[in-house]
Structure 1
């Protein structure tokens, strides 16, 4: 098989997350959080990929007689079974710590009165009760939870919402030194006779409908994109049903009626457990610190000069998040806002925090007389609404806001500051691998490069000029960067050239080596180029966190290619590209994965690390990751990942390395 299917690869990554929830060396509450992440990832997969899979399944070729749609369904069902077993184990261990999550069991009599009182005092305020027959129409809202029952004497389906979008999913009760967490789902089940009065329904089953999350922006080049995105966001929750997740114990008679009454004939039907939306497990919180990861040390970047900009005139600054404090990034923006010689601040925004200090600083900078221009990507999936809110707030404060380029997403993570004195104009910039988001910076591993190097920033200045013009066909713009790798202008071509150079070294008998760490590898053209390199004698080591369509270790195709992934305490997000180049190695960082969407349909920025000290540092970091013998695994079930000499845990070793 030349390529691995992207959807089964995505599910493979999510299974690795699930396996981390089962890891004995992870504290119990943190294991619950991995279960939460698994559930959240699966929900996103259902909303983003299953509609496409369902639409294409008739046209898809068979793989061993099984369609991709069937294979995906079987994989999800197997993972759900493993999920249930893992959760049961964690709950049993938590009970020994006097943390009792009531799961498929009756509440102790000593807290039953508390639960029933909570039903009337709180939950009942948000209940919407419906009775439906075959002629009724009912629209289950996207990702909302419902209980359904069958009133057989009247041939009706009884429906009530589980109001977790209004109140906490769990009621916490402290009793006799124990902490109880009761699902509000079960409090409803305890009170069915008070909800479906006189219906004689004694049992209820949970369901959830996931709807298509894609935004359909026809004729994107015309009209007001802001208005179109805003309209589509409101429609997202009323889109076509992609998946019905239902309690496996539900009788077939109820399931068949639900399909008809809810209009779910074309949705993928997936058996689940008693509870859905178990991403809510991340809301479980207790006071016992031993049930959490120990507090991680965070490294201060020591600035030797009075001002960060003075430091950047003398040398570059490279931060590795979350191992370094984010304060240095915030300081960059704050200095730019206050410095009387700073005249311009230009920035791209893909995902901001809901409480973004950076956005507030940009507002202050505009108030301080700076010319502030922010390019806001309106099509950042699931962050569209937050981006619109911040964009409008910044615009009202005097920040110039530029919204999305038609048919392109701007995914670059860059900032450019212009500082003018009587003698000259100086440029300062940030080029990064992750979003300018103070919250995700606490648990995403990323790299932030601050510099005043003209060769990089002159290219960045030209890019912002292109973005400000907002051409409809940006890929046709006459712009060839001299130092940066910018999609869609030269990024793909430059990576091809770098791979071809390694091929030439290998054919000349020199050692040739490529080592890359990123999130996704899906573009078939680049994969074929890597296969070509492997067959030419280039050794290739890849660390791909999530989707990987490259099939490693195949004779005559990819014998010299290894692929692994790391799933640990922090979400691996940083992108590092290393090319041996006959001993004169080159190292790049950037925002782009090797996916078709990144290199052909987005504006991305990757950049060479020119400082020799930081090139060495990033090479060492790659060594640390590719030598992980604890959390690094192969991407295929039959693949055993063999680390190098060091069998440490990469994220732990990172602190040790950077703290020196």
Structure 2
């Protein structure tokens, strides 16, 4: 029987639309609503760079086996952009004005601001401008940079020029007196006559090109580090996937520009006057009002760890489970810092996928190497859009004496694990760290994740086995002798174990026993795992899913799917199998996507400690009780707000978890 699935791209767009609707929610603080517009725009830019190229290629090939997804995707993007414009112009701009904050939006410059704008144009902006006259009847004469902003200027006598908007070098917004704000684009627009003094401007329209980011490093020869550096250069020269233009542009000019820049019709997208609105995240706040942003939340401290002289000693006695950002990330930094200076620590192993630009963790690893410890770091150079940062840190660590392992051929290392080996007499203590999110103290402020610190002999020994494997780089098939009993490791046992756990629940249901599965993921797309869930639901298993982003599973009898979009980005992966009341609980790095299960090294780990098992179940229960920001995904891929029952109190999961964690 064919497995019925949602299209992954339409599912992702459904998620991004939920992000967009947060900007329309009056319960969300004003500047946070503006920030959600920025997140929506940033997400859509990445979608255009990563997913649209594949859809365009399939469309051009007219592959009969593929449904006509591209037109549906383009219609949905167009619809969402219309909603974006309505929220921005009809809701947020008036809301800002009600707070005496005025963002210029396609309107004349007030005389009181002319001097300030004129001074900024001549002393700052003008030095970054590169006006270029173009002949639309000639072959292409210039290259439009990826995601850069440009103004197409029309003159009398059918002349045209293109002017860059240097938002990469200058702030996108200029704060003016009387709590007014103006786009950099409009600063340039107001002074086009001065930029082209001998010509009469008849029109000005914004454009932006997004280019394909999916370039395979295997195209390049040589060492992987050099391959990635070459790929970074090539990426910015990728083929166009989206040509965003001002919808007020005359059709004739639009078509001539498309021909001039060799843009296919399906790559043309009508937009508003302003593009690249991810920059709204940097909108100045001339009125400092605490009500404009989320109230500051102080992460909880763990008293036992605060009182401990040595975190590593504490972990040797008992596991530690952290829930960030509700609890302090400082304990993770302390794990690496203590390992770096402890004279008895001899070896440190860690995987790095996305690293903070000023990473304290990497600096601790560099210090450890300089302190004479053997430090081995698997740096994933193919972490999309973080490649340059990872290359930079890899070079710095290597210069300091850190042993750097680069990506395994054909695989990405997405696991978030570390291992410290400490000498005690004639033996070694193993202290492991396993997480659902990256070792990144920057994103840890707004990504919800779980981190386990453990000295469990079985888990830490299996972690050491995994690091031995990663140092060889040989295919997993050469390591069938590796037996992972506690850890679930993609390429070895992860898919088989999850499949067995689902089927066991189905067997319990068929035997008339209670059978339940609760799974929280970022993305659910892998066809075989979805088929297993369908079969389990058909057998009578009660399945509840919390899926933030892509969900290709179609909800049906026995399977409920909900989505939570709120202040923090829900990032943790949690798996709970009822097992006749003896639950098995796992966490880890692996979403159920083709790439995660079949083309990556992932690690999921069990939660054994009774207290932490209770905490995990309590946190998941609060997320399942959310009736303010949670939505139910229906069979038409629509987000349906959770209905609050009569007399039921409001439950916001993230606020409730924050309060709960402070009681632990």
TM-score by length of 1: 0.96
Cα pair 2:156 2:202 within 8 Å, conserved? no
**1:528-583 CA distances to partner (integer Å, 9 max, x unpaired)?**
11000000000100000000000002xxxxx1000010000000001110000011
Which residue number in structure 2 is paired with residue 209 of structure 1? 209
Which residue number in structure 2 is paired with residue 556 of structure 1? none
Match of 2:337 among 331, 334, 338: 334
Matched pairs, number: 647
Which residue number in structure 2 is paired with residue 170 of structure 1? 173
Which residue number in structure 1 is paired with residue 258 of structure 2? 259
- Gap change, CA 1:383 and 1:119, over 3 Å in 2: same
Match of 1:116 among 118, 128, 150: 118
Matched, 1:184 2:178: no
| Structure 2: distance between partners of 1:484 and 1:454 | 12
| Structure 2: distance between partners of 1:565 and 1:476 | 40
RMSD: 1.6
| Structure 1: distance between partners of 2:63 and 2:300 | 50
**1:63-106 CA distances to partner (integer Å, 9 max, x unpaired)?**
9xx82111111111111111111112111111111111111222
Cα pair 2:18 2:639 within 8 Å, conserved? no
Which residue number in structure 1 is paired with residue 365 of structure 2? 362
Cα pair 1:189 1:203 within 8 Å, conserved? no
Which residue number in structure 1 is paired with residue 29 of structure 2? 27
Alignment of 1:363-442 (within 5 A): 363-442=366-445
Which residue number in structure 1 is paired with residue 218 of structure 2? 218
Cα pair 1:193 1:202 within 8 Å, conserved? no
| Structure 2: distance between partners of 1:15 and 1:328 | 36
Which residue number in structure 2 is paired with residue 43 of structure 1? 45
Which residue number in structure 1 is paired with residue 606 of structure 2? 608
Cα pair 1:321 1:441 within 8 Å, conserved? yes
- Gap change, CA 1:62 and 1:342, over 3 Å in 2: closer
Between 1:98-107 and 1:610-619, the stretch displaced more is: 98-107
| Structure 1: distance between partners of 2:107 and 2:426 | 76
Matched, 1:144 2:142: no
Match of 1:474 among 476, 479, 498: 476
Give the Å deviation of 1:285: 3.2
- Gap change, CA 1:278 and 1:574, over 3 Å in 2: same
Which residue number in structure 1 is paired with residue 488 of structure 2? 485
Cα pair 1:377 1:410 within 8 Å, conserved? yes
Cα pair 2:206 2:245 within 8 Å, conserved? yes
| Structure 1: distance between partners of 2:48 and 2:74 | 11
Cα pair 1:158 1:196 within 8 Å, conserved? no
| Structure 2: distance between partners of 1:643 and 1:509 | 32
Which residue number in structure 2 is paired with residue 70 of structure 1? 71
**1:597-637 CA distances to partner (integer Å, 9 max, x unpaired)?**
00000000001101111111101111010110111102332
Give the Å deviation of 1:197: 3.1
Matched, 1:79 2:66: no
Give the Å deviation of 1:416: 0.3
Between 1:450-459 and 1:144-153, the stretch displaced more is: 144-153
Which residue number in structure 2 is paired with residue 131 of structure 1? 133
Alignment of 1:539-558 (within 5 A): 539-553=542-556
- Gap change, CA 1:234 and 1:53, over 3 Å in 2: same
Give the Å deviation of 1:641: 4.0
Cα pair 2:521 2:548 within 8 Å, conserved? yes
Which residue number in structure 2 is paired with residue 244 of structure 1? 243
| Structure 2: distance between partners of 1:641 and 1:60 | 39
Matched, 1:193 2:193: yes
| Structure 1: distance between partners of 2:644 and 2:451 | 27
| Structure 2: distance between partners of 1:74 and 1:346 | 48
Cα pair 2:173 2:284 within 8 Å, conserved? no
| Structure 2: distance between partners of 1:196 and 1:7 | 44
| Structure 1: distance between partners of 2:64 and 2:30 | 43
Cα pair 2:156 2:199 within 8 Å, conserved? no
- Gap change, CA 1:638 and 1:240, over 3 Å in 2: closer
- Gap change, CA 1:10 and 1:168, over 3 Å in 2: same
Matched, 1:459 2:462: yes
Between 1:636-645 and 1:132-141, the stretch displaced more is: 636-645
Cα pair 2:631 2:639 within 8 Å, conserved? no
| Structure 1: distance between partners of 2:567 and 2:308 | 34
Cα pair 2:629 2:641 within 8 Å, conserved? no
TM-score by length of 2: 0.95
Give the Å deviation of 1:480: 2.6
Structure 2 unaligned runs (5+)? none
